[in-house]
Amino acid sequence: MIIIMLGAPGTGKGTVAGILKDELGIPQISTGDIFRKHIKEQTELGKLADSYISKGQLVPDDVTIKLVQSRIQEDDVKPGMILDGFPRTVAQAEALDKMLSEQGKKVDLVVNLTTPKDEIIERIVNRRVCSNQECKAVYNLVMNPPKKEGICDKCGSPLVQRKDDTEETVNERFESYLKNTAPLVEYYENKGILRKEEVSKSINRLGKDVAEDIVKIFKK
């Protein structure tokens, strides 16, 4: 089972993917998380990725595709995976189709999350993430604050704000989404595997509601 999470920054791709990972028992592959790990460890890839991520730009396709290509060869991915933040360009989507078809696999479902832009900005600037790479729990200072300020409820590690979660960088990331990633909606719609989901407090539908409905499809 291969699921792709699509959507602008701050729509809750990671939240939905995290619930699906736990409920369906397949790994969540977040290219953003992999890049952040490299940045923290100051690897060559990390330094390169940081020079794009800190400006709100996409890491070049060749680098990102190579990274995913090697990750999806690993054993844990055999039963399936949730791709969170990849693909983000048509070139990445085409490369993914090619990689999967070489393994006799294909994408089963693409979930496209949409959220009004003002809500996205509010969510992103209030987002705090657990600094423990094994935990990676996500909080919102307004909607879902931790019980103890600055501390993760789940593992007790300090919470941090992502460097690219500033209003300025968010605008840049949003522009990049419209230019590079939005065309993927049509790409997957044409393949008949796109599921559109609006996530917004104004309609009382949150990421966890979306995840619950998707789990039901796969657990039937």
Cβ distance to ligand AMP smaller for residue 105 or 162: 162
Cβ distance to ligand AMP smaller for residue 48 or 151: 48
Cβ distance to ligand AMP smaller for residue 156 or 183: 183
Query: How distant, in Å, are the alpha carbons of 21, 47, 61, 125, 127 from that of 52?
Result: 28, 9, 12, 19, 21
- Joined together, the tokens standing for residue 114 give 């949409």
- Joined together, the tokens standing for residue 159 give 């919470």
CA-to-CA distance for 59 and 198, rounded, in angstroms? Answer: 27
Residue with tokens 């960088």: 169
Active site residue 71: no
Active site residue 13: yes
Active site residue 88: yes
CB of 219 to ligand AMP, least distance (A): 26
Would you tell me which residues interact with ligand AMP (CB under 6 A)? Answer: 9, 31-32, 35, 52-53, 57-59, 64, 85-88, 92, 164, 173
Cβ distance to ligand AMP smaller for residue 9 or 27: 9
CB of 3 to ligand AMP, least distance (A): 15
In the set 88, 123, 128, 136, the catalytic residue is: 88
Active site residue 36: no
The DSSP annotation for 29-78 comes to EEHHHHHHHHHHTT-HHHHHHHHHHTTTPPPPHHHHHHHHHHHTTSGGGT
Active site residues: 13, 88, 127, 162, 173
